[in-house]
Amino acid sequence: MMQDPSRPAEKSPAETGPFRRGVRKTLPLLIGTTLFGLGTGAATAQAPIPELALFAMPVAIYAGVGQLAFAQLYTLGTPFPAIAVTLILINLRYIIYSAIASVWPRPKSLLQRLLGPFLVTETSFALGLNEPLADRFRFLLGVGTALWSTWVVTCTIGTLLSSQLPPLKHGYAIPAIVLAPILMNLMKGRQKAMLALVAIGFGLLLSGVPYRLGPLLAGLIAVAGALLFERVWKAWR
């Protein structure tokens, strides 16, 4: 069959650069980011924060829960050091993601190296895990750029339209739906599926732990349990 010469030949995934591949793989996830961004923007607009700071929030604090926590604590008149400590506690998982990503080969460009950590989120980190090790950092930059720019735009729209947007009753399900394909990829294999079930169980048990530390503890307990089980299983066999 003759190829239409006016149309550029479509490149296979292996031929496209990691940055562009990252942007492309993020496109289906942007629906969820848009919904979550609109909701977060509308929610933070309820806090008595001056406009300049309000619009700077999605740009500087690139963490949805972090933004909501900041807005809530600010409304209550919490002093900044206490807000800062809370933000650190509820975002401790980023230290783990970043520590794991520290073994990914880094690009030569200083700007890209400095930008990488800023763009680390659940989505960019988890999507990066499916890429060849050498491509992961630049892939993360592609995913992160698409997500962050969408985040900033949708949060801003959400803030501007806060009085007209209906509140979402089931916003709690959006992150899980958006990250469902990534979760399924990560859970391949019996050991990881079992680990996921244990993590969900402990996540439910520890959901009341303050500062959103429950999921972090649940994840760590599940991994420790999996390692222990593997040892005992090997010794027993």
Partner 1 sequence: MNEFLFVLGAGIILYAMKAVPMLVARLPQTRLTTVIFDLLPVGLLTALLLPPVLLGGVQQPALEGALAIASVVVALALSAVTNRAAIGIAAGLALLAVAELV
CB of 67 to partner 1, least distance (A): 9
CB of 11 to partner 1, least distance (A): 19
- Whether residue 71 contacts residue 55, with contact meaning beta carbons closer than 8 Å, is answered with no
- Whether residue 86 contacts residue 73, with contact meaning beta carbons closer than 8 Å, is answered with yes
Q: Which residues contact 182 (CB under 8 A, 6 or more apart)?
A: 123, 126, 127, 130
Q: Which CB, 3 or 218, lies closer to partner 1?
A: 218
- Whether residue 202 contacts residue 217, with contact meaning beta carbons closer than 8 Å, is answered with yes
Collapsed DSSP state (helix, strand, coil) of residue 226 = helix
Q: Which CB, 5 or 210, lies closer to partner 1?
A: 210
Of 141, 224, 136, 143, the C-alpha closest to 179 is: 143
Q: Which CB, 19 or 218, lies closer to partner 1?
A: 218
CB of 93 to partner 1, least distance (A): 6
Of 100, 108, 115, the C-alpha closest to 148 is: 115
Q: Which CB, 1 or 233, lies closer to partner 1?
A: 233
CA 183 to chain centre: 12
CB of 163 to partner 1, least distance (A): 19
CB of 101 to partner 1, least distance (A): 5
Q: Which CB, 6 or 169, lies closer to partner 1?
A: 169
